[in-house]
Amino acid sequence: MPSSSPTKEQTQGPAPSTSPATAGVYLRLFLVPLFWSGNFIVGKWLAQALSPLDLSVGRWTVALLILVPLVIWREKGWPKPGRDQLGALAFLGFSGIFAFNTLLYLALHYTSATNATLINSFIPVVSLFLGAIVLGEPIGVAQVAGSLLSILGVGLILVQGAWQNLLAFRLNPGDLLMLLDTLAWAAYTVIGKKVMHRLSPLVATTYAVIFGLLFLYPTWIVEKFLRLPRGWHPGWGISLLALLGIVYVGLFASVLAFLWWYEGARAIGAGRTSIFANLLPLYAALLAVVFLGEKPAWFHLVGGIILVGGVTLAVQPGPQKS
């Protein structure tokens, strides 16, 4: 998911256009959630052979190899943030690159790609309340109502349609990890919004990846030498298919998805662009059925509809600061 929140002007966005260029923007925006949903499918498939740290390191190493020359080309050189921004950028690296991705791939060891994607859709609501706490952003009645609906949808998925599972504490550990994961990305989103005032999303994300890898590489090396946990592949080797999977999540689910998402926000407004994120659960469910053989249950459908509806209501423009 992208790291910045829309401003009032971005939310309203420019008037829709039917030009070929705008049609291309809409086509790419239909592909972005497909790329992101593919990350859950590939991550679930690779989770049987590689550790979460393997996947995180591979994904963001590939992304960084693409991002660095791209930044130099677009920025006409290498931009240097101020010293006062380094702490925030390091936090972005820890929360959005190190923590979010590692928790995501760890969760996929224990839960289905369908569950993970649906719970991931809860991120805008978590970001909404964290923004109110950290940034003092106001929350209106629509945001509260949408949030409550979203919580109901997530709860239905977590208990698998049987509320007695909550009372018996029979919750999937992977689903609980995904809830923690939503908090990691919400923190990345809120702090990222402050950083974006002085750095472009592309530059801020590139520095976040650099700092994230500074957290990932030492942890990954320690894991490799300790060979923990034992259920994961202990060697340094990697199959060709696994390598192709890592290249996919690094190129398509990271770099291309990021660039096309923000190009869409500039062309048609962040408000219209954000609507396309609602396609992610649908794409992921279909891909999980086709490639992983998962069989969505009734509570996935009902919970997903409630969740997406609640998020759509919650992300509507709220009251402005006075």
Instruction: Quote the CA–CA distance of 217 and 87 in Å, as a whole number.
Output: 19
List the single range of 118-122, 142-146, 168-172, 274-278 with lowest mean pLDDT.
Answer: 168-172
List the single range of 5-14, 28-37, 58-67 with lowest mean pLDDT.
Answer: 5-14
Q: Per-residue pLDDT tens for 204-248?
A: 889 999 999 999 999 998 888 776 555 555 445 578 888 999 999
Instruction: Quote the CA–CA distance of 160 and 282 in Å, as a whole number.
Output: 18
Q: What is the pTM of this model?
A: 0.79
Q: Per-residue pLDDT tens for 140-159?
A: 888 788 878 877 877 777 77
- Length of the chain in residues, anyone? 322
Which amino acid appears at position 312 of this protein?
A: T
**pLDDT higher at 167 or 113:** 113
Q: What are the tokens at 229?
A: 């946990």
Cα distances from 313 to residues 146, 278, 310, in angstroms, run: 5, 12, 5
Q: What are the tokens at 311?
A: 């998020």
Which ranges of the chain would DSSP assign to H, the alpha helix? 8-12, 20-46, 52-75, 83-92, 100-107, 113-120, 123-134, 141-158, 164-167, 173-195, 201-226, 240-250, 257-268, 270-275, 279-287, 298-314
- CB neighbours (10 Å) of residue 241? 11
**pLDDT higher at 196 or 28:** 28
Q: Cβ distance 306 to 156 under 8 Å?
A: yes
